[in-house]
């Protein structure tokens, strides 16, 4: 893995999908993903936003600039994490 990709993974705080994460986040939705034509094995990393998870594939990380990834991360944070002001 190259240093740019490692930098993106570190900057976003992504967690590698292990067996426990697979069972918790991917397995329950496997049929829906398959029906939609999405191979669940393409997702290699995830990030938690409060109680919600976001899946990341290597292709997505490689093809998207760090600037765009960080902008989307901030948007996900605002959209998916409940703060005291929103409650």
Average pLDDT over residues 19-31: 92
Place of tokens 């029906």: 35
Output the CA angle 27-55-60, nearest 5 degrees.
130
Does 84 have pLDDT greater than 60?
Answer: no
Domain spans, the chain:
3-80
Reported as a single tens digit per residue, the pLDDT across 28-72 is: 999 999 999 999 999 999 999 988 999 999 999 999 999 999 999
Reduce the DSSP state of residue 21 to 3 states and report it.
helix
At residue 80, the pLDDT reads 86
At residue 59, the pLDDT reads 95
Answer whether 75's CB lies under 8 Å from 52's CB. Answer: no
pTM: 0.84
Which ranges in the chain belong to alpha helices (H)? 3-12, 19-21, 30-35, 58-63, 66-80
- Separation CA 76–CA 24 (nearest Å): 20
Read off the tokens for 87. 């409650």
């Amino acid at each position: 893995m190259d240093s740019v990709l490692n930098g993106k993974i570190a900057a976003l705080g992504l967690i590698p999908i292990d067996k426990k994460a697979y069972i918790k986040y991917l397995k329950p939705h496997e049929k829906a993903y398959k029906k939609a034509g999405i191979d669940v094995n393409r997702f290699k990393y995830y990030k938690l936003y409060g109680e919600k998870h976001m899946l990341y594939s290597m292709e997505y990380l490689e093809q998207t600039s760090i600037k765009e990834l960080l902008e989307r991360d901030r948007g996900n944070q605002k959209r998916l994490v409940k703060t005291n002001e929103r409650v």
